[in-house]
Amino acid sequence: MEFFEGTEKLLEIWFTKSESKCTADNDLRKIPRDVLDYILDLVNCKILSSTRTRELDSYVLSESSLFINKQRLLIKTCGTTTLLNSVRPFIEAAFKFCGFDEIEDVFYSRKRFMKPELQKYPHNSFEEEIDYLQELFGGGAAYALGRLNGECWYLYTLNKPVSIDAPDQTLELIMTKLDPEVMKIFTKEVSSSAEEATQKSGIDKIFPNALLDAYLFDPCGYSVNAILPKGHYFTIHITPEESCSYVSFETDAPTTDYPELIQKVLDIFKPGQFVLTFFANDDSIGRYFTKKQYKLKGFDYDTFQETNVKNYNVTYAHYTKKPI
């Protein structure tokens, strides 16, 4: 069976004005579609479908997702895409078409690749990625959380003294060793459409009020972008092949019960192991999401780390399924 690298590269860029407050004219959604297409071509992916609300533009990509709101651009891509090739042209487009002149913050993260030898420049190693980003920004900070001889998760951020002052949080679950029966749902053999796969799996019940845009690939594979009230989102990407099964779930939704949300996702996909990462700044409701709350039914964590990057608390944990 052909191998596919489900592991995603995740890039988030926040923009602002240096000498004055942002106005209605400063809006990343003013970047023209043909410019987005050009930039995504540099990454080796393309837009498959899009959804828009008053607060957020969502794009399902041939390799994962792109979300754009007024001041933030978030893109995640899988496979052998060259995501960092998009950084400079995205910044140039934001300055040219949207009137921004300063970068408020940047976050780049990913889990260790399953087969790093298949990646292309500048993604051959995290050290190479750091060098690439430092050439663009300088003064950034890079972190590795987890076990260097096992599951490991990498993060690069600008490390600015002051950045995002609005409540902000991001939860990501990176799941592997998935239940084969669940994964079959995300094949054309079992589901005739993305909507059928969404309903059979129970993805539509994670946030019942979400506006969903789902895509079922041929012969297998699945992506969904969801827009939530007040411009929040969640996104799921699935590589169902048993030899390299992979599912990612990510959301910036604020909630008073993250363990309940996490358990809901785990109950759907039934992974054998997963990595959890959680960002929260001081204004976020999630800043009280503590170690005690990370006890999850049916799983033990073998690694748990917390660190503070400028303005954010970052939590990393690796879980494995308890023996039956």
22 is catalytic: no
64 is catalytic: yes
Given the residues 58, 109, 163, 223, the one annotated as active site = 223
18 is catalytic: no
193 is catalytic: no
57 SS3 class: strand
Given the residues 45, 58, 78, 318, the one annotated as active site = 78
Say if residue 241 carries a ligand binding annotation: yes
Say if residue 19 carries a ligand binding annotation: no
Given the residues 58, 62, 64, 86, the one annotated as active site = 64
The answer to whether 198 and 309 have CB atoms below 8 angstroms apart is: no
Dist CA 57 CA 171 (whole Å): 20
Strand-pair category, 299-309 with 273-281? unpaired
Length of the chain: 324
* Identity of the amino acid at 141: A
Matching residue, tokens 């990454």: 43
Given the residues 123, 232, 237, 318, the one annotated as active site = 237
Dist CA 202 CA 27 (whole Å): 35
Residue 289 Cα distances to 2, 116, 135, 281, 322, angstroms:
39, 33, 35, 11, 23
Nearest to 107 by CA among 63, 147, 141, 145: 141
Say if residue 217 carries a ligand binding annotation: yes
Dist CA 147 CA 318 (whole Å): 9
Peptide bond into 229 cis (omega under 30): no
The answer to whether 126 and 114 have CB atoms below 8 angstroms apart is: no
107's CB contacts (< 8 A; 6+ apart) are: 10, 11, 12, 155, 156, 157, 279
Tokens of 6: 């489900």
Say if residue 269 carries a ligand binding annotation: no
30's CB contacts (< 8 A; 6+ apart) are: 97, 98
Residue ranges for the known binding site are 4, 63, 217, 241
What residues are annotated to the active site?
64, 78, 223, 237
Residues annotated in a binding site for substrate = 4, 63, 217, 241
